Structures are given as C-alpha cells and as structure tokens.
Amino acid sequence: MEPLALYIHWPFCLRKCPYCDFNSHVRERIDQATWRDALRRELAHEAGRVGRRPLASIFFGGGTPSLMEPATAAALIEDARHLFDPLPDLEITLEANPTSVEAGRLAEIRAAGVNRLSLGVQALDGEALRFLGREHSAAEAMAALETGRRIFPRLSFDLIYARPGQPEAAWRDELRRALALAADHLSLYQLTIEPGTRFATEYARGAFALPEPDEAARLYWATVEEAGRFGLAPYEVSNYAQPGAESRHNLAYWRYGDYLGIGPGAHQRLLLGGEMLAARRHRAPEEWLARIARQGHGTVEEEALVPTDRAREALLMGLRLAEGIDPARIAARSGLTLAEAVDPAMLLACIEEGYLEWTETGRLRATDEGRMRLDAMLPVLLR
Amino acid sequence: MPDTPLARIRNFSIIAHIDHGKSTLADRLIQATGTVTAREMKEQLLDNMELERERGITIKAQTVRLAYKAKDGETYILNLMDTPGHVDFAYEVSRSLAACEGSLLVVDASQGVEAQTLANVYQAIDANHEIVPVLNKIDLPAAEPERVKQQIEDVIGIDASDAVEISAKTGLNIEGVLEAIVTRLPPPTGDAAKTTTALLVDSWYDAYLGVVVLVRVRDGHLRKGQRIRMMSNGAVHTIEQVGVFTPKMIAAESLGPGEMGYVTAAIKTVADTNVGDTITDDRNPAAEALPGFKPSIPVVWCGLYPVDADDFEKLRESVGKLRLNDSSFHYEMETSAALGLGYRCGFLGLLHLEIVQERLSREFDLDLIATAPSVVYKLKRTNGEEFDLHNPADMPDPSVIAEIQEPWIKATIMVPDEYLGPVLTLCNERRGRQVELTYVGTRAMAVYRLPLNEVVFDFYDRLKSLSRGYASFDYQVDGYEAGDLVKISILVNAEPVDALSFMAHRSQADRRGRQICERLKELIPRQLFKIPIQAAIGGRVIARETISAMSKDVTAKCYGGDISRKRKLLDKQKEGKKRMRQFGKVEIPQSAFIAALKMDA
C-alpha cells in the first residue's frame, strides 16, 4: 500500500519576505490553542476518509512553523502516530528560521518528536540577508546551524543564490562555508521572481536585475561542483543530499505519491478507488478556522483529475529527480502509459539531443543538460 | 444653369513638390474668390482624408470651381483640379492633367526645383499645358527668386521671366496668380452641339450618394436623367445628379463643354468606374473614346496578414470596403504557414502600399503585418509558356524557367553636390545604369535606370539617410528586361518559411541572404533545441546562422504540494504554443517573423 506523507501548514510569519509567495500571513496575535485544536480536527477528519495507512513522513511547513508552540507540534505528531501506521524510520521535519528567539526553542521542538530540522538560512552574507528581507544575521544563522546540528539527527538548510550582481567566485566561497557546516542535506535555490511578491514589483520597476540565463547556468554548474566536493549530490533540480539523506517527504511529491495537506492553503493528492483526488484548503487563516469550526475541514475544492492532468503532474514532478521516472509507476499513478502521455517524436528528439535518457533499469530520466531546461522541455514533450 | 461660354472658363492644375505650398495656394485662391466664407475655411481645404492632411499629400483628385471677376470686368469660372503629386498615381495625374489646359508650377523660392516637380511638369508639358511659373515663399529671407527662375529655365526649359512672385502663406500677390490664370492660360475647347463625351477623372465612394464620379465634359452635355455609357466596358447608368464643387457639392441642371463637375448614377463600387474612361450618351454614343485610357495595373505586391489570426474576418471586410473606394488596389486571399490567413495585395507603387496599409490600420483599426514587397516578374517557361509572378512563393523550380524579366524604372534624383558620391554608389550597388548626370547650381541631377526590385527594398530609406534627407527622388516605370534573378528561400530548422522568401539578383543574393539570417538569429528567442537558419537558392545554401539552445530554464523551487499551479502553468505554455508555428521539432513565435518583416519595411 502506498505510504502516506503528511503536510501541516502553519500560515504565520513575523514578516513577509520579499521573494516569498507561499501562503503566509502576519498577525499581531495568534491564539495558539485555537489553532492547535483546528489543525488536529482537520487531521482527524482527513484521516477518517483515508483510513489506516503506513505513514512515511510528516512535514511542518509554512509560514514559519517554528513560531508554533512546540506543544502543538507534539500533539499533531502524537495524533498522526495514532491515526496511521508510522514506519519505523518515520521522518518528521520542521522548518525554522535562524533568529535567536526561534533557535532557543529548538530543544523543545526536538522533544516534541521532530527528527529533521530545515533552517531557512538563505544566505551567509549580511548584505544579502538584508536584500532578502531576512530577520536574522549571518552570525545568528551560524549559531542556529551549530545548535541544530547538535540537537537533530538530520539537518538541512536553504540558500538562495543567483542574486543580483552575485559573482560566481563569491557564491562558491559562500557555498563552501555552508557546506563546511556538515549538514546532510541542502536546498540551493536560484532566486526566482514570483508574481505578486514585493520583488516582482521592484523587479518590474527595474530596481534590480537577475543574472542572464547563461550566467545562471554557470552558477548552477558551480553549485553542483562545489556540493559534489562535499559528497552532496543533486538528487533534484535544487536539492542536494548525502546518499540516503534525501528528504523523504519531498520525494513523495516528486514521485507523485499520496499526501495529505492540513492547514490553510494546503494541497492534497490521494489515489482513492482509482481516482486521483486533488484537494485544496482555504488560504485565508480566519476563513479556514471558521470552516473547521463549521464543518470539521477547510476544503474549498476537491476534484478527480483526468488521466492527462495526472500524467502531466507525475512527469513534471518526476523528471525533476535525478532518478527519473519509472514508466510502470507513471501508468499506475496516472492511468496513462508513458507512450500515451508524451509525444513519441519529441521524446526521441529529446533523447537524441541528450536531454533525456533511458537507464539500465528501464527508467526515463532527464540528463543534467535536460534537467536545466526542464521548463522548456515539458510543454513540447508532454501531450 | 446655362452653359458658361468657353472663353470664360479656365481649367488648371497646380504642380508642386511636397511642402512647396500647393495646398496653401489652393486655400488662398478659394478665399480670394470668396468661394468659401471665412468661417468655413480650414487648412488644406481640398485634402479630405485625414491621412492626406497629416502627410501633406493629395491622394484623390479634387476639384473646386472658383468664380473670379477679373480686371477686364468679366467674371471667369476657374476650375482648379488638385491632383495627387506622387509617381504611384502617375496615371491618375495624367488623367487629371488631361482634364485641364494649363498648370501653375509652384516652386519654393528658397529651395528650387525638386525631382518630383520635374516628373510632374514633364507630364504637364506632355499634356500640352500652358505653364505659369509661380515662386512661392518669396517673403522668406532665404528666398532667391532670380536664381530659382534661372534654374527653372535651365532645368525645365520654360520661360520663367514672368514668374508670379507670391507668398501663399501671407496672401501676397494672390491677385497676380488669378490674373495670370485668366490672361495666360488658354480656355478649353469643345462643342455643345456634338454628342456627349466626358473624361472620367476620378471617382470615390460616398456613403449617401454611392459612387461620385469626377468628370470633365469635352463635347455635349451631362444632364440629370440622361442614360450614360462607360466606353471601356459598355456599362450603362442613369444620371441621378450632376453638379459642381464649390468645394461643397452643389447640384446643377447640366454640365456643358469645358466644365468640370460631378455625376452620381447609383453606381455601387468605384471598381465600376475606370479612371481615364470616356462617358458618352447611351442613345447617341460617340464613335471614338477620348485618348489615353488604360486600366490600372498593380506594380508592387505584398502579403497582408492580421497580427492576430482572429482578425482575419475583419481584414476580409476591410479590404472589401477599401476596394470600394480604391479601384487600383487589388487583392486575393492567400495562406502562409508562418503567418496564417491573409491577402496578397497589389498596389500602384510603394506610397500606395504604405497608404493602404495605413488606412487599414487607421480607418479599420487593424494590426497588420506586411511581407516584403515584390515586383511583378515576367516568366518564360522552357515550354514557351509565359506568365506573371507576383509572389516569390509561387516561383516554379528554376529548371523549368527559360527566362525571368523584371521591371525597370527611370529614376531622377536631385541631391546637393556634397552627397552625390554616396548616392551614385548606392545606385551602382543597386544595379543602376547612369543615363544622365547634370548640375543645376550646386545641385546634381542624376538620372538612372534601375531595376524596380532594387528600389522596393529599402532604397528610399537609404537614399534619405545617405543625403541627410536632402535628396529628392522620383521614378517612372520603364519597361522590362531579362535578368539573372533567383528566388531565395529562408529555411528555419530545414523547413522553408514561405512568407520570408524573396527574389533577388544573383549578385545580391549572398548579401541579402546573410542579412535576413542574421536578423532572424536576433529575433527568434532561444528554445529547447538549437535552430539552424539558412538562406538557400534552390538546394544550395548561401548563408547560415544557428540559434543555440537556451542555456537554462527550470523552476528553482518546486516542492510543497501545490502541483496544480505548476500544471496550470504548463497548460498555459501548451496553449501558448498554438500561437507558434511548427518547424519540425522547433516552434517559432509568429511575433519573430513579424518583427523580421517589420525590419524589412
């Protein structure tokens, strides 16, 4: 039986970062008890629909889930353990910001059952942190990483690169310092301008420029090279891990597995009775709360996806992974064979061009060159 | 209205280079004779079309009847025929001139004679016109009337000693012009007793009256209720209204010999009225038509496509409506793999093309793209068959072609001495053959024979920029000649793009081919696969560029469960591909082709 990944969304931040388009909100007061109860209610509601299943991962994302009282995380973990059948190596990740306040809670968070910490470091350079609108300093980030590594069995952190005017040499240097901090997993994102963010407005106004595609490509190869020296391989476009240290939870998305999404704006995919049900919760925190109080769940939309859409989703996620996709799994998850899901002539053209390849085990994977151009490849490849 | 005695009619036109003051002078003549009240007066009174006012040019012929009480005490009817000055409308000009007995030659007293003036004045001389030189802008400090008079005598060969010196702008000596018209231009000839013959000078479509026909009566009369016959095609109509222009249309009982005026006869489209045709009486037709009629033949063709394919229906309606009012505009539907559905359109020349394009975009609110203009080639197949080619895309395989002939022109270029060198180089580059090179003061006049094909491709722009705008240029079509011409195909990803193919002389092929490949390389955005771009003659590649594959295009952050958003983005990208043109495994946005063609224009 397909194991389950559980996502729990904490929708609050102290302030909005200018690059972030995630569902996060700034509120002066948050009634922790109300939120704890509501999240637990929605979890119980969804668990009732899915039934007992093996549980592979829990992920507290946000927003800033480190602002959640550790007791809330503890209660939700406890519930999940009872509602599902936790696998022995159940991965429980929580995202945290490296401010000193939040770092002070790390021990409690560990005690709540979280065994993997993901720190939103973003940069190890003071000026860059200010540009990115972060609340913490480079020193605080180093301190938080130090504490995190001591307390948690597994540690990951995020960095944002290809920032305006960032020279390759400076990025290599920053990345090397980050790699020396001995995390087993890194998420290294190129700065992207998302619509509706403050950066989108400033970028449109010409306040700053991003590296040209050729330069972005050079920075990408530099990143792969530096991470490789420390034994971290790019198992996904922007994610690097030591063998076995990959984020199991995120792999569930990329492998188009079943996942529950609890909390405002959370998304869900469940293959139930041959149908792929896609559900979405209300994004606005207060409205979501009201719906929980009224009906026990915050779902605003649930639809059964047609096979073409399922195949598109499975492939657009799966081809991001270095391991590629297993045609049999695509068929099982989407209801379409690979031959039905892609344009065979374009598949051939992509293979000839060296963008895609078949592995010895019969998987289809994007080569490094192909993965770098995935967004351009998908619309021509997929039907 | 009884007939005006012939002796008291003067029919005249005004010849001038653009900006030398033709329209202003016309305005003054109208004012001085009290034809229009001060309240009704507006600038360029005779230029109705918005486009005409804006560009300071006359597209359609117009006429106005002025009543002038001369110094001899008699009142004269002066019919002013305002003609299009541009060579594209040379035939229309010749018909307008044929309707008059004399011309005012207006020359800017500070600038002197220009190429366009020359072409028109020679036409007037050909039409046996008496010509009265008028020096305008005499009030300007830079005016040099004596020098310009000398120039008129040297270049045109007419006596300019009695030139009327005026300022149309200030109204200085307008009286002198009116007196010269009366005393120096001959009256028309004609016979009221003979059967009706009238020259069809121009026609246009009026939403209320249908087609309005501008006529000059030679013999006999045109009357309301009369059944008239068009001598070129035998079509018969019953006159609903005759009248004159003041310049407002004023109905009259009849038009007699020597008169100019209009006729309406429930005619549906201007295509039914051929400029230069002879109108006669249906029951008592003339035995012979007036001389000089020829049907209008397009000289330059190009494809017109809507930028937004959804606008094709609108384009279809618009070209139909335009044709209602412009019978020299030709069109037929065509499809292009790169641009979709559109029309192959024929024009009298480059200005006509530009005007039609502008009218379509302005009056019909259409966003259009034009393919490179092409001239009409005469092809002879090896089996002896002959045909006209006006779209390079229709060019047969060279192996079955025995000969290709291309149209040549005789071009007159006037340019200040210091720019002559580059201008001659340009003409030679464009396969020009010098016919004549003379000097008029510090201005050189070069007469060249040039292939029209070389002129439709950015010649005028180059000429203007080489001479900093000082060169003036005019041409007339001057027969066909066989040439070593080839069709150059542009291939994107090894597939030909029909809309970009063009004809060129073999000696120009490499340069032109390279040019367009380089342009496309800049215009086509990089994509997943590298794209070879080639220019080829038949199977032989003469130029090549490669657009390299894009270096990076992947969403950095793609975790969290919101896959729907990524999928919808993908759906949108796929939808966007519908606006793309497929060339093998490569898809090119139509906008890139449009940009390539725009740079050509």
Partner residue facing A268 (CB), from B555, B557, B561? B561
Residue A202 CB contacts under 8 Å (≥ 6 apart), including other chains:
A18, A208
Please say whether the dihedral angle defined by the alpha carbons of residues A370, A371, A373 and A376, taken in this order, is positive or negative. Answer: positive
The interface predicted TM-score of the complex, written ipTM, equals 0.90
Query: In terms of CA atoms, which chain B residue is nearest residue A254?
Result: B559
Select the more confidently predicted residue: B202 or B55.
B202
Confidence of residue B96 (pLDDT cuts 50, 70, 90): confident
With CB atoms and an 8 Å threshold, state whether B554 touches A237: yes
Q: What share of chain B is helix, strand, coil (3-state, %, to 5)?
A: 30, 35, 35
Residue A290 pLDDT > 90: yes
Once rounded to an integer, what is the mean pLDDT over residues A171-188?
93
Partner residue facing A213 (CB), from B552, B559, B576? B552
> Does any CB of chain B come closer than 8 Å to the CB of residue A253?
yes
> Does any CB of chain A come closer than 8 Å to the CB of residue B577?
yes
pLDDT tens column, A336-369: 999 999 999 999 999 999 999 999 999 999 999 9
Once rounded to an integer, what is the mean pLDDT over residues A307-315?
96
Query: In terms of CA atoms, which chain B residue is nearest residue A280?
Result: B562
With CB atoms and an 8 Å threshold, state whether B574 touches A238: no
All residues of chain B having their beta carbon less than 8 Å from the beta carbon of residue A309 are: 567
Q: Are strands B472-482 and B401-416 parallel, antiparallel or unpaired?
A: antiparallel
> Would you give the DSSP letter of residue B271?
G
CA–CA dist B600, B516 (Å, integer): 9
Residue ranges, comma separated, of all CATH 3.80.30.20 domains in chain A are 4-252
Query: Does B23 show up as a binding residue in the annotation?
Result: yes
Residue ranges, comma separated, of all CATH 1.10.10 domains in chain A are 307-383
The confidence score (pLDDT) of residue B252 equals: 92
Residue B464 pLDDT > 60: yes
With CB atoms and an 8 Å threshold, state whether B553 touches A192: no
Query: Does B20 show up as a binding residue in the annotation?
Result: yes
Query: In terms of CA atoms, which chain B residue is nearest residue A237?
Result: B556
Per the DSSP assignment, residues forming a β-bridge with B237 are B228
> Would you give the DSSP letter of residue B172?
B
CA–CA dist A67, A32 (Å, integer): 10
Once rounded to an integer, what is the mean pLDDT over residues A290-297?
96
Residue B310 has φ and ψ, to the nearest 5°, of: -70, -15
Phi-psi region of B392 (alpha: psi -120 to 50; beta: other; left: phi over 0): alpha
Confidence of residue A249 (pLDDT cuts 50, 70, 90): very high
> Does any CB of chain B come closer than 8 Å to the CB of residue A303?
no
Beta strand ranges found along chain A (DSSP E): 4-10, 54-62, 85-96, 116-122, 154-161, 185-190, 233-236, 239-241, 258-262, 267-272, 275-281, 299-304, 356-358, 364-366
The confidence score (pLDDT) of residue B56 equals: 46
From A206's Cα to the closest Cα of chain B, the distance in A is 21
**Residue to test with chain A: of B559, B580, B586, most A Cβ within 10 A:** B559
With CB atoms and an 8 Å threshold, state whether A190 touches B556: yes
With CB atoms and an 8 Å threshold, state whether B554 touches A371: yes
- Domain A307-383 fold: Arc Repressor Mutant, subunit A (1.10.10)
All residues of chain A having their beta carbon less than 8 Å from the beta carbon of residue B561 are: 7, 253, 259, 261, 266-269
Once rounded to an integer, what is the mean pLDDT over residues A30-49?
96
User: What does the mean pLDDT of chain B come to?
Assistant: 86
Select the more confidently predicted residue: B337 or A312.
A312
All residues of chain B having their beta carbon less than 8 Å from the beta carbon of residue A11 are: none
> Does any CB of chain B come closer than 8 Å to the CB of residue A378?
yes
Once rounded to an integer, what is the mean pLDDT over residues A62-79?
95
> Does any CB of chain A come closer than 8 Å to the CB of residue B482?
no
All residues of chain A having their beta carbon less than 8 Å from the beta carbon of residue B532 are: none
Q: A55 to each of A154, A259, B3, B241, B563, how far by Cα in Å?
A: 19, 10, 108, 94, 21
Once rounded to an integer, what is the mean pLDDT over residues B375-390?
92
Select the more confidently predicted residue: B360 or A119.
A119
With CB atoms and an 8 Å threshold, state whether A317 touches B563: yes
Confidence of residue A247 (pLDDT cuts 50, 70, 90): very high
> Does any CB of chain A come closer than 8 Å to the CB of residue B540?
no
Looking at chain B, the whole-number percentage of residues with pLDDT higher than 90 is 45
Q: B15 to each of B116, B121, B184, how far by Cα in Å?
A: 9, 7, 16
Query: In terms of CA atoms, which chain A residue is nearest residue B570?
Result: A379
All residues of chain A having their beta carbon less than 8 Å from the beta carbon of residue B585 are: 345-346, 349, 380
Query: In terms of CA atoms, which chain A residue is nearest residue B526?
Result: A376
pLDDT tens column, B486-510: 999 999 988 888 888 889 999 989 9
> Does any CB of chain B come closer than 8 Å to the CB of residue A19?
no
The confidence score (pLDDT) of residue B47 equals: 55
From B312's Cα to the closest Cα of chain A, the distance in A is 28
Q: What share of chain A is helix, strand, coil (3-state, %, to 5)?
A: 45, 25, 35
Residue B560 pLDDT > 80: no
Q: For chains A and B, what is the number of CB pairs under 8 angstroms? A: 113
Query: In terms of CA atoms, which chain A residue is nearest residue B549?
Result: A373
The confidence score (pLDDT) of residue B57 equals: 47
Predicted structure pTM score: 0.66
- Mean pLDDT check: name the lowest of A44-53, A313-322, B511-520: B511-520
> Does any CB of chain B come closer than 8 Å to the CB of residue A276?
no
Once rounded to an integer, what is the mean pLDDT over residues B170-174?
93
- The dotted CATH code for A4-252 is 3.80.30.20
The confidence score (pLDDT) of residue B500 equals: 86
The confidence score (pLDDT) of residue B60 equals: 59
Confidence of residue B579 (pLDDT cuts 50, 70, 90): low
Once rounded to an integer, what is the mean pLDDT over residues B362-378?
86
Partner residue facing B554 (CB), from A22, A374, A379? A374
Residue B58 pLDDT > 60: no
What 3-state class would DSSP assign to A57? strand
> Does any CB of chain A come closer than 8 Å to the CB of residue B208?
no
Once rounded to an integer, what is the mean pLDDT over residues B88-93?
73
From B553's Cα to the closest Cα of chain A, the distance in A is 4
Select the more confidently predicted residue: B309 or B543.
B543
> Would you give the DSSP letter of residue A50?
H
A51 alpha carbon, distance to own chain's centre: 25
Residue B1 pLDDT > 70: no
Q: Which two tokens stand for residue A220?
A: 């990408």
With CB atoms and an 8 Å threshold, state whether A214 touches B551: yes
With CB atoms and an 8 Å threshold, state whether B561 touches A266: yes
Select the more confidently predicted residue: B441 or A274.
A274
The confidence score (pLDDT) of residue B172 equals: 93
Query: Is the distance from CB of A351 to CB of A319 less than 8 angstroms?
Result: no
Partner residue facing B557 (CB), from A238, A256, A374? A238
Partner residue facing B561 (CB), from A267, A312, A345? A267
With CB atoms and an 8 Å threshold, state whether A373 touches B553: yes
Confidence of residue B326 (pLDDT cuts 50, 70, 90): confident
Once rounded to an integer, what is the mean pLDDT over residues A162-167?
94
Residue A210 pLDDT > 90: yes
Partner residue facing B566 (CB), from A269, A316, A371? A316
